Amino acid sequence: MTVRLVFVKENKERHECSGYIYSGEGQELGQFWAKLNVGNAKLQKTSSNTSITDVNGNYSIAGRTYGVSSDKDCTKQLATLTTDESGNTSVVEVKATIVYIKELSAPLGFKVDTTVYSLKVEAGKTTTLRFHCILSNEIFLYNLP
């Protein structure tokens, strides 16, 4: 019984745990279970205008940062994700529910996207939010020293 209680305490954030203890005459009987209650979230960002960004080294998808939050107002941030050169992020483990994603910063040449995106994360699965970068009105054609 102690082993199961330790499991429940140590895994309550990752699992939905429950159980019963049957008592009556004689020995008590316990039944416990744990259901995985987390999944993974990740992002994939691409340029909205690859005809400009793919031929211009001043544009980079790398370095965009996003907050992953548990509320629509993005005040309860759970994690931060940052894009690599391909626009992909690492994965972050979150509760299996809907999380909200908002861009926190954008690299030079791109606007910060103020849209709050929702992402439904399922237990035991990795869910990817795919969307496009917004180019700023400033197009940088030259590398200045």
The residues pairing with 94 across neighbouring beta strands, listed in sequence order, are: 39
**What does the pLDDT look like over 95-122, one tens digit per residue?**
999 999 999 998 776 778 889 999 999 9
Total-model pTM: 0.76
- Structural domain spans, the chain: 2-36, 38-135
d(CA 77, CA 94): 11
Class of domain 38-135: mainly beta
User: What does the alpha-carbon distance between residue 35 and residue 123 come to, in Å, rounded to a whole number?
Assistant: 9
